Amino acid sequence: MNYFSRITSIIALTVATCSLHSCNNNASKTDTATVSTESPRIINIINFIRQTDYRVEGADSLLFDATTKQVAQLKKHQLPGTFLLQYDALINPKYQDLLKNELDATSEIGAWWEITQPHCEAAGITWRGQHRWVSTANIAFTTGYTPEEREKLVDVYMEKFNSIFGYYPQSAGSWFIDSHSLNYMYEKYNIVASSNCKDQVGTDGYTLWGGYWNQAYYPSKSNAYMPAQTKENQIPVPIFRMLGSDPIYQYDMGVGTSRQGVISLEPVYPDGGKDRRWTEYFLNSIVEQPSLAFNYAQAGQENSFTWEGMKDGLEMQIPIFDSLRNEGKIRIETLAQSGKWFKENFELTPATAVTALEDYRDEGNKSIWYNSRFYRANLYWHGKSFRFRDIHLFDERVASPYLKAPGTGGQFFYFTLPLVDGYFWSTENDLAGLKLMSKAKDGSAEELLLSDPVVKNASSDVLEIVSNDQHNNSFTITLNPDHIQVSCKPSKGESDWYLALHVPAEKKSELPFKELGKSMIKANFRDYDYRVNLKEGAILKGGPLSSHIFQILPNKNSINISTAY
């Protein structure tokens, strides 16, 4: 990602520290979960390698030094890592010798899929960049090339890699690899795993929004960002989401603007992976708190940030990973190993969850992420104020705009289908969301506040959240792979509750909804028609508050929203 734009974010953030003892005390508040074959916690340490970076003075030597230090660090702790080579680094004898002679045998060498001048020239493609490598989306990524050019780029890379190391890489990662290239890598060269960037809006010009949050998924053959629903239409290569997003705070970074900031496990960020207190809060959510099929995080750092930028964060993080591994709480493995395990255990994309019930900032915020092959949802608490902050639907029939033709310009855009979008539909001072409400006798609306949520795995793919409102009514939110159910047990008699979509007036023109029926919502997003059906409940347009787009009324104290097309 863009070095200077991210460094600007780093400088703007403040450093916080926390002793290991105090963070472990926080972790002890949650029931301990240990690594098991049923629901392992997996860490990939992925360091990807560029040969040069025109934005960094003395880049060639500084980038090589960073990779050398990363290799030595993993050897010291006897940890496996994944080193992904960009083509310009692949053809550099210094990197070849380093990885052949110094890298531990438990580690992996794979492909980093940003396109460079020597890569293009080797494939007989005209280079359009001002430098040997640029971050411009239509030059650095395969979305900017024709399908035929993409195949040439794959062939040239794979043959060069094989001539150097004697085998083809099993893993290929990038901020984004298009579906045509990914499927070609699978069918011709049998890659077993891939990785792409976390969700973000506008960061470095790359927008990935609404996808399978963190974790890993099988992509659609038509759209590598869209999880597939069927075996027939999926690429059987799991894509692992990179960078380790903060489950509470990353989502709203930059809300109301055109570009998000970054709070992630990357060791260069003072308010993220460089801060011990944040790191242990994040690992607590991954390792200790409720999950489903598995939980995952990617650690490591691109060498463009140089060793000086990443040293403090990595030297703090790596011993923590080592300790968690020795306690049996996490598996540290290569990207290829994780990909093979995923394929052995899941024929289709599984349901997963990330739970963060403890707030390292002590502001009372909580966040629960749920994913299946049909949708993702985020439940969010600010204190006791609760809302569905995000619900995005997945549909393998949605083709990428770059599937058959190259993109133009310095950005690329990947989206899924919004039902609730707490980022794009919010302003800086008025946040959108699907809220629990109650109607008073005089017709006024009251927000229902939920406290102390209890989260449990109802089954291997179902997450259940139970919480009481201020009137002691008990609400249960059940996240199933193909539907969301909200039910209530009133404390006294009947509770006149409902769900209401709140959106600021300034954002109403951006909503995708075209028709609201009694039991369905018809929508169109980026020229694609889709609909949402209710299995239980009824839809009413508007509501007591002018900011409410629609209400969903329960039937016998239950609402059931189908998330499968």
113 phi and psi angles, rounded to 5 deg: -100, 65
Given pLDDT bands bounded at 50, 70 and 90, which one contains residue 75? Answer: very high
pLDDT of residue 538: 95
Q: Residue 211: what pLDDT?
A: 96
Return d(Cα 185, Cα 179) in angstroms, integer. 10
Tell whether the torsion through CA atoms of 202, 205, 208 and 213 is positive or negative: negative
The pLDDT value given to residue 325: 94
Quote the mean pLDDT of the chain: 91
Tell me the C-alpha distance between 102 and 409, whole Å. 40
Query: Rounded to 5 degrees, what angle do the CA atoms 523, 372, 230 make?
Result: 80
Q: Predicted confidence band at 32 (pLDDT cuts at 50, 70, 90)? A: very low
pLDDT score at 259: 81
Q: What is the per-residue pLDDT across 540-564, written as a single tens digit (0 to 9) for each?
A: 998 777 789 999 999 999 999 999 8
Q: What would the pLDDT profile of 254-308 be if each residue is shown by its tens digit?
A: 898 878 888 999 999 999 999 999 999 999 999 999 999 999 999 999 999 999 9
349-382 pLDDT per residue, tens: 999 999 999 999 999 999 999 999 999 999 999 9
- Strands 108-112, 171-173: pairing kind: parallel
Per-residue model confidence (pLDDT) at position 443: 76
Q: Which of 458, 453, 488, 454 is nearest to 471 (CA)?
A: 488
Confidence of residue 3 (pLDDT cuts 50, 70, 90): very low
**Residue 30 confidence (pLDDT):** 31
**Minimum mean pLDDT range among 14-23, 69-78, 187-196, 454-463:** 14-23
pLDDT band at 521 (very low <50, low <70, confident <90, very high): very high
Percent of the chain with pLDDT over 70: 93
* pLDDT score of 327 more than 60: yes
Res 214: pLDDT: 92
Nearest-angstrom CA–CA distance, 396 and 565? 10
% residues pLDDT > 90 (the chain): 83
**Res. 19 pLDDT band, cuts 50 70 90:** very low
Supply the pLDDT for residue 409: 83
Give the residue-averaged pLDDT of 132-159: 95
- Does residue 495 carry a pLDDT above 80? no
Between 260 and 5, residue with greater pLDDT: 260
- pLDDT single digits (tens) 154-178: 999 999 999 999 999 999 999 999 9
Ordered domains of the chain (ranges, CATH):
46-248+300-307+328-356 (3.20.20)
Give the pLDDT score at 12: 35
Q: What confidence tier does 37 reach under pLDDT thresholds 50, 70, 90?
A: low
Q: What does the pLDDT read at residue 135?
A: 86
Which pLDDT band holds residue 115 (cuts at 50, 70, 90)? very high
pLDDT of residue 544: 75
- With beta carbons less than 8 A apart as the criterion, state whether 369 and 115 touch: no
By the 8 A CB rule, do 111 and 169 touch?
A: yes
Confidence of residue 18 (pLDDT cuts 50, 70, 90): very low
Tell me: pLDDT of 15 over 70: no
pLDDT classification of 203: cutoffs 50, 70, 90: confident
pLDDT of residue 442: 77
Do the Cβ atoms of 269 and 277 come closer than 8 Å?
Answer: no
b/e map of 4-38 (b: 16 or more CB within 10 Å)?
ebbeebbeebeeeebeeeebeebbeebeebebeee
In this structure, the number of other CB atoms found within 10 A of the CB of residue 175 comes to 26
Give the list of residues 6+ apart from residue 356 with CB closer than 8 angstroms, or none. Answer: 247, 248, 281, 285, 289, 366, 367, 368
pLDDT of residue 354: 96
